[in-house]
Structure 1
Amino acid sequence: MRDEVRGAMAQLLSGLNAEERSSLLSLLQGEQPEGDPVAVIGMGGRFPGGANSPEAFWRLLQEGRSGITEIPKSRWDIDALFHPDPDVRGKMYGRWGGFLEGADQFDPLPFGISEEEAARMDPQQRLLLEVCWEALESAGESPTGLAGSRTGVFVGLADQGYNRVREPGHLDDFSVTDHLTSVASGRLSHVFGFHGPSLSIEAACASSLVALHLAAESLRRGESDLAIAGGVTLLLQPEISFHFCKLELMSRDGRVKAFDAKADGAVRSEGCALLVLKRYSQALADGNPVLALLRGGASTSTGRGVSLSAPSVPAMRRVMSDALAAAGLTPADVDYVETHGSGTWAGDAIELQALRDVFGAPRPDGTKCVLGAVKTNLGQMEYAGGAAGVIKAILAFQNEAIPPNLNYSTPHPRVPLTDTPLVIPTQTQPWPRGARRRIAGVTGFGLSGALAHVLLEEPPLRSVADVTAQRPVHVLTLSASSAEALAAQVERVAPLLDAVPERLLGDFCFTANAGRAHFAHRLAVTGQTPAQLRDRLRSWRGEAPAERREPQRVAFFFQEEFLLQGAPGQELYATQPVFRDAFDRCTAAFAASGAQREVPAAEQTQFSLGYALAELWKAWGVRPAVVLGKGVGEVTAACVAGAIELKTAVRTLAARPSRADGVGYPVLEALPPFRWTDPARALEDQKVTLLLGMAQGEPGHFGMPGFLPSLQAGRGDWDALAECVARLYARGVEIDWRSFDRPYGRRAVAFPGYTWQRRGFWLHRPTDGSEPVEPTRADDTAARVRAVPAQERRALLQAHLTAHLAKALRVAAGELSTNKPLILLGLDSLMTVELRRRLKSEFGFNLAVARLLAGACIADLAQDIEHHLAASSALAEGPPPAHSAGTEEREVIEL
């Protein structure tokens, strides 16, 4: 095992440049106390001021803008709530806040969530879902490709009272799961299929930094292999603002004046900030972007003090010192601290004193430590504030500059900084790379007494991988959960190709293919240059095959003897290690058995070519449901299927009694699955939808539209093979894109994220009572079905079920596929309860939960009900007694 680890490490180091090797080795050899450091590989966020991405956030910071505005009337009626006297109950003197654009907007379709549940879900959970998706895309990780992985979720948030917009009598089955704080992290784990720890953290304004610290520890312990950390806040109810105004903690003019003599309070704001973490060595191996290294951190509590919510200089000093010790750093190593900087006069003084105590000693080299305060731009983002500070620090690394604080003119009189290296920036501070590694600290303090501090290091420079044998043709895929979203994606991506350097085209395509989600609506184009891919995208007008709603069954077909044209496989042999290794194994097997003298060279080539192509397809994740062949191909098929070993296959070819057509191989007589000679019959018998040829050929050959050859005469290997890959993908076959690009040293680069198709889902207080629903009697519905001709009953049942489910899911009936598993349409456990009740009431039919879990679709249920009605001899007497509804509900929820 030790030799295997050494070999893997040697392979990893061989692909790094000098700086990356030096950084990784020094960190693994002890300069980093925990060994393999934690890397930040992705980030996503929504910030006030219309900054709906980290890039837009940086523009806001760089331009010195504020995201704080007067509270919009669409959120609260500030004129009715305002009063200048803080002692007036139920009023507030602060008219200002940092609010997100489109906080009610959401696209439920990519997440498999029904519109009904989306409307009732805490919008903080909706925001977490979208930002988590975007952060994973930023990391070059496919959001739908991590199901079953040890991915941990650590998010800070609190209940902001969304459920209180409804009258108590209108609470429904979704009220618990959609509003409990603890469910938010579970929602992410459930929707994305993560199997790591899942924690919702409530530590006031320290929450997202505490979450980041816990996520890093989970990675260091090996508990998680990937982690999502951060926080979210939406301001949905005004009561907390009433309380803060009563304590006179809110700014009266809407400006946060951190560390200024005129500081008069905070401004509440909302937002979401998430970071994606992975161990550094794994991030390098996987081609993820490394945005920063998380050197260390600490999370503590104030303990017993003046009061529960009062900050403490010793406590703040302790958490920063603990983080430095954990990171193996000294205060003089830190160039920049993104402070808590709340803008309260007393709180700022306490934080400044702690910063002076820890970082205020003179530095012999004359370097400074800049004190940033993002709350002067955004306000107090509360549960997301610490993670927003981390994103600001990472953006400062990337842009080699620290943006200015706003609203600072007069130093705080309580804590002078003139004799210290501490600097409060009023204009952009250059922060270039150099001989000195850049280190940033980020601080978060909570009203509950929770404290956290983390330390970030700039990432090592990364060079373009030096791979001598590159693949000459690229495949670019785009995918979406609807045709409209796919068209929008094409419009976004095509113009970007004009700016992609040819040397980075492989990385660009790799990011699209391996780092984005794949849905039923999809397309793929091939090309050797950015211009070719751009033109082929622009020429696409929805010509991709119709959405595939059923899994594709692929057969590998090994043809009989054929005339080799050109030198098929030669280009692959020179540029594809998997193909080359498989071909070499065949050559060695022929040599070892002496069959080189017995088997004609053309047959050896045919066998080796087919075998190597099959091994390549399998390495790319394409596994055949069926293999079939004829002539030499019959032996290759048996070998690829594992029925005979490679050495046996070679000896079988050498022992062939005759070269005449129709003569079989005695060793294969007991293996009828490999003796099909009619591809069309095989497609029909085995319900195969695509026939993949393992040699040269023409698409649609044998009179079968589903036939796709791996290679084509007169075309380069990669030209034909890349087109075959693209066609398979467009028809719904899943490709392992990381394996597809593994030999070429790809790395994730900037690429557009998913094109959301958002709609409003803001829940409003009902103005009238619940609408009564007239129950449908089982004998009425059953009689209506029995009254139509037998051949029409199933279609009627399908239409009836589709209409009911469309209403439950709040989608158009035409959007529902009758052949798609119900659990993939967005049907959750609570909807299942209602469906079971309805089918029991209407048809006397007991729907087994196991049937749904096994992937039953509308067509399956229609068939089950049709059989049930046909078998029942007592329909006229009404349905059999129903089980207890409570029992049914418990069964589903427990599952």
Structure 2
Amino acid sequence: AGLEAFYRALAGESGEGDEIAVLSGEAGALRGVLAGERAGHGEEPGGKGPQSDAVPAMDPRLLVERTEHRLKLILAELAKLRPEQVDPHERLEVYGIDSLLIMQLNHRLAGVFGELSKTLFFEYPTLEGVAAYLAAEHETACRRWTALEEREEQEGKRPAVVAPRAAARSERQRPARRRMTGRAREPIAIVGISGRYPGSPNLETYWENLKSGKDCIGELAGDRWPLEGFYDPSADEAVARGRSYSKWGGQLAGFAEFDPLFFNISPRDAANIDPQERLFIESCWHALEDGGYTRDRLRDRHQGRVGVFAGITKTGFALHGPELWRRGGDGSPHTSFGSVANRVSYLLDLHGPSMPIDTMCSASLTAIHEACEHLYRDECELALAGGVNLYLHPRTYVDLCAMRMLSQDGRCKSFGKGGDGFVPGEGVGVVVLKRLSQAEADGDVIHAVIRGSSINHGGKTNGYTVPNPVAQRELVRAALEKAGARAREVSYIEAHGTGTELGDPIEIAGLTQAFGHDTSEKQFCAIGSVKSNIGHLEAAAGIAGLTKIVLQLKHGELVPSLHAGELNPHIDFANSPFVVQRSCEAWRRPVIERDGVLREVPRLAGLSSFGAGGSNAHVVIEEYVARASEPRAAVVSRSRPALVVLSAKSGERLKEQVLQLVAAIERGSLRGSLGDADLSDIAYTLQVGREAMESRLALTAA
């Protein structure tokens, strides 16, 4: 019957100009309904004439459609397209939209609507979404812009229109995530930590550099590769000629130094192993020493159930092979991401999960997240997690310049005016992780605790390397929910903060939306980025930021974020929860209202890492407040001196161990943090928390 009606309509059996409807039901009843509708159209009940004074209801789509049309005209003009080529339902990336074009669009719209969010076209990837948002949030300006207001004034009517917010929400707000129920999971304790960063061979120097606000970026050393034929100060010329317009970096001194025999690796094999792998091995060893763990203790207490999670993303070492062979060398330099983690497990006889993580710039923070998840699943009892990053071949710089990612003046201006990219940085860092209850039961020294962590991906955006503020918001919300924490409790954010004109505003937009779920308070949370000090360590960026947070918690101070004397004009910090930390000051515990009572809460920090390919990670870290300790069982006195033991692979290295111990004691004495009662702890750790080696020294002290 339906097809027959269709064919009859095509044959023109109905009157010309008639509207045709195919309906199902009893014919007489349908005719009555249709006749009643026609009779009542435009009339009052009782057959009165049309209601000439009634205000017609405007189709809520009309304002959106007219706004879409105006947006089409602007985009077509800026992108050099014909208006009919622009589809408001199509994703903007189809039209080659980039950061420059977005800035031009923002400038045009600012002339109509005033200051809008600079991340608007990142939050709404189609003109339809942008138009729906503008019609919903800026209705009056949209009416004026689309000439609807003028038309209504001429007609003497102003229909009340509620612009359709659903269309705006459809792109900005995804369906609500399933919220976690029940109690938050047990925190993960950080029981060991190590690291080497630009200008910082150890964490003591790292802290002093951060506290003093030192910029550890410098010109590339000539021993890496010559600048001749590599550097061109003109960005356009450099990209066109396959060169680098950056000659700066946060380089790691002595990156190639390695004692292979210490780890029972032959010198020949060690020469072919990527220096990143060698650095990660050393950092794992130092982190275990910091936690007081030997191989025997890992075997006896944890049965070797220790996982290794290594963040790494850079290659380049193998590119030196052809030149080596051309000169007659017979080496075989190679990089294996899997081996970075697997060799640690092999050398230390560990039997837990052993895996590399490559999510680009979020690699080490994702490795820490994965380590926590494996601990929760009881797939290991202890975990080594971190990352490493070295720039071993000039090609790595050239490739980054080709994507216009690097700063042209050697400064990473996180949240500062004039930011145009990041500066490459090098480093390595590792933490030792364990469930908090187990760490407390085992008597571990706990540096801080991880309350919650989350990872996600930005999905489809305006470009492969373009971040998604909506995904970043959901990432932070998920981490806070897992931590069982509210945004108002967070007093510091260690941001990704790569120092780009639009990347930084996108990050602040995502954070502001995430915090806005819990509170409308402004400028209560400090924010900074260690990239302003040491550059962007890519795969090791997350562990560098986590280490900074742990050191700030340890010392109770917030250190300055550099190159932000003038803030990024595209960020409205005054209307956000954040204030850039531009000086060194005490990190005071927040006092917030809980159940109608003001309470002091522990220091809580968030840490973000965003991969260039869209993989994001966020971790919530809290200071550890130790329980009241029982009196010490061992008391050192002249009649009961402590036995201090040291050992090393050689007499020369043993002397170095002695100097390190003396320096540590002197630092503690100068700070007033080391007393006679701590001597028994030092002696105990040196006895059971260090490997026994061939060259040894023992002495008594009181």
Q: TM-score, normalised by structure 1?
A: 0.53
Residue by residue over 1:704-733, the C-alpha shift from the partner in whole angstroms, topping out at 9 and shown as x without a partner, is xxxxxxxxxxxxxxxxxxxxxxxxxxxxxx
Determine the structure 2 residue equivalent to 1:524.
Answer: 698
Among candidates 181, 185, 190, match of residue 40 of structure 1: 190
Output the CA distance in 2 between the equivalents of 1:351 and 1:413.
14
1:515 aligns with 2:665: no
**Residue in 2 aligned with 1:452?**
617
**Cα distance in structure 2, aligned partners of 1:428 and 1:506:** 34
Give 1:272-671 correspondences, 5 Å limit. 272-359=428-515, 368-433=524-589, 435-461=600-626, 463-467=628-632, 472-493=640-661, 499=669, 501-525=675-699, 527=700, 529-530=701-702
Supply the distance in 2 between the matched residues of 1:32 and 1:333 (Cα, whole angstroms).
Answer: 17
Output the CA distance in 1 between the equivalents of 2:566 and 2:657: 49
Question: Do the aligned residues in 2 keep the contact of 1:154 with 1:201 (CA within 8 Å)?
Answer: yes
1:483-541: per-residue Cα shift (whole Å, max 9, x none)? 2212332344357667453222210111111221111222333x3x43xxxxxxxxxxx
Q: Aligned equivalents of 2:627 and 2:481: distance in 1?
A: 28
- Residue 361 of structure 2 aligns to a residue in which SS? coil
1:104 aligns with 2:256: yes
Secondary structure of the residue aligned to 2:472 is: helix
- Tell me, what secondary structure is at the counterpart of 1:194? coil
8 Å contact 2:375–2:435 — kept in the other structure?
yes
Distance 1:45 1:144 in 2: 23
Q: Aligned to 1:263, what secondary structure does the other structure show? A: coil
Q: Secondary structure at the match of 1:414?
A: coil
Change (3 A) 1:169 1:162: closer
Aligned to 1:268: 424
* CA-to-aligned-CA distance 1:206-262 (integer Å, 9 cap, x gap): 000100000011111111111111100010012232222223221111011111231
Q: Secondary structure at the match of 2:684?
A: helix
Against the structure 1 CA distance between its residues 173 and 220, is the aligned structure 2 distance closer, same or farther, given a 3 Å change threshold?
Answer: farther
One-letter amino acid of the counterpart of residue 261, structure 2: L
- Counterparts of residues 8-47 of structure 1 (less than 5 Å): 33-34=184-185, 36-47=186-197
Quote the RMSD (CA, aligned, Å): 2.4
The DSSP-based 3-state class of the residue aligned with 1:166 is helix
Deviations, residues 9-46 of structure 1 (Å, cap 9, x unaligned): xxxxxxxxxxxxxxxxxxxxx98522x32101111111
Q: CA-to-partner distance for each residue in 1:298-325, whole Å, 9 max, x for gaps?
A: 0111112222221111111111111111
> Shift in Å at residue 172 of structure 1?
11
Alignment pair present for 1:69 and 2:225: no
Q: What TM-score does the superposition give when structure 2 sets the normalisation length?
A: 0.67
Tell me the distance in 2 between the aligned counterparts of 1:494 and 1:340.
37
Letter in structure 2 aligned against 1:183 = S
- Asked if 2 retains the 8 angstrom alpha-carbon contact of 1:144 and 1:518, the reply is no
Alpha-carbon offset, residue 168 of structure 1: 8.5
> How far 1:160 sits from its partner (Å)?
2.0
Task: Identify which of 196, 199, 213 aligns with 2:369.
Answer: 213
Judge conservation of contact 1:212–1:230 (CA < 8 Å) in 2.
Answer: yes
Secondary structure of 1:141's aligned partner: coil
Aligned 8 A contact 2:189 2:446 in 1: yes
- Against the structure 1 CA distance between its residues 463 and 53, is the aligned structure 2 distance closer, same or farther, given a 3 Å change threshold? farther
Distance 2:437 2:410 in 1: 45
Shift in Å, 1:167: 2.5
Matching residue's letter, 2:657: Q
In the TM superposition, what are the counterparts of 1:160-309 in structure 2 within 5 Å?
160-167=315-322, 175=332, 179-309=335-465
Aligned length: 496
The separation in 1 between residues aligned to 2:415 and 2:663, in whole angstroms, is: 45
Query: Cα deviations across residues 530-581 of structure 1 (Å, max 9, x unaligned)?
Result: 3xxxxxxxxxxxxxxxxxxxxxxxxxxxxxxxxxxxxxxxxxxxxxxxxxxx
Tell me, in whole angstroms, the C-alpha distance in 1 between the residues paired with 2:331 and 2:490. 48
Q: Structure 2 counterpart of 1:97, which letter?
A: G
3-state SS of paired residue (1:210): helix
Q: Quick check: 2:635–2:677 contact (8 Å CA) kept in 1?
A: no
Q: Give SS of 2:240's match.
A: coil
Partner SS state of residue 298, structure 2:
coil
CA distance in structure 1 between the partners assigned to 2:350 and 2:570 by the alignment = 49
Given residue 452 of structure 1, which amino acid in structure 2 is its aligned partner?
A
Q: Does 1:119 align with 2:261?
A: no
In structure 2, what residue type is equivalent to 1:227? A
Q: How far is the alpha carbon of 1:418 from its aligned partner?
A: 0.6
Q: Residue 39 of structure 2 corresponds to which residue in structure 1?
A: none
**1:408 shift after superposition:** 0.6
Amino acid at match of 2:322: E
Aligned in 2, Cα 1:162/1:287: closer, same or farther, shift over 3 Å? same
Q: Percent identity?
A: 35
CA 1:31–1:287 in structure 2 vs 1: closer, same or farther (change >3 Å)?
Answer: farther
CA shift at 1:423, angstroms?
0.5
1:154 aligns with 2:328: no
- 1:730-773 Cα distance to aligned partner (Å, 9 max, x none): xxxxxxxxxxxxxxxxxxxxxxxxxxxxxxxxxxxxxxxxxxxx
Q: 1:88 to 1:464 in 2, by over 3 A?
A: same
Q: Aligned equivalents of 2:469 and 2:248: distance in 1?
A: 30
Whole-angstrom distance in 1 between the partners of 2:230 and 2:319: 18
Is the contact made by 2:314 and 2:391 (CA closer than 8 Å) also made in structure 1?
no
Unaligned runs of 5+ in 2: 1-180, 591-599
Return the letter of the residue paired with 1:132. Answer: C
Secondary structure class of the residue paired with 1:42: strand
Letter in 2 for 1:280: L
Matches within 5 A, 1:836-847: none
Q: SS of the residue aligned with 2:617?
A: strand
Q: Counterparts of 2:609 and 2:324 in 1: how far apart (Å)?
A: 40
SS of the equivalent of 2:455 reads strand
| Separation (CA, whole Å) in 1 of partners of 2:272 and 2:215 | 32
Matched with 1:881 is none
Aligned partner letter, 1:514: V
More displaced, 422-431 or 363-372?
Answer: 363-372
Provide structure 1 residue ranges, at least 5 long, that are not aligned to the other structure: 1-29, 531-895
- Give the letter for the 2:603 counterpart: R
Cα 1:207–1:486, aligned 2, differ >3 Å: closer, same or farther? Answer: same
CA offsets 1:828-872 (integer angstroms, 9 cap, x no match): xxxxxxxxxxxxxxxxxxxxxxxxxxxxxxxxxxxxxxxxxxxxx
Return closer, same or farther for 1:432/1:309 CA change in 2, 3 Å cut-off.
same
Contact (CA 8 Å) 2:497, 2:531: kept in 1 or not?
A: yes
CA distance in 2 between counterparts of 1:298 and 1:381 reads 21
Structure 1 pair 101–279 and aligned structure 2 pair: CA distance change class (3 A): same
Distance in 2 between the 1:266 and 1:469 partners? 52
Closer/same/farther in 2, CA of residues 326 and 214 from structure 1, 3 Å limit: same
Q: Report if the CA contact (8 A) 2:461-2:468 is conserved.
A: yes
How many Å separate the matches in 2 of 1:496 and 1:327? 35
What residue identity is the alignment partner of 1:493? L
Match of 1:622 in 2: none
**1:31 touches 1:328 (CA, 8 Å); kept in 2?**
no
User: What is the CA–CA distance in structure 1 between the aligned matches of 2:499 and 2:664, rounded to whole Å?
Assistant: 42
Match of 2:204 among 47, 55, 75: 55
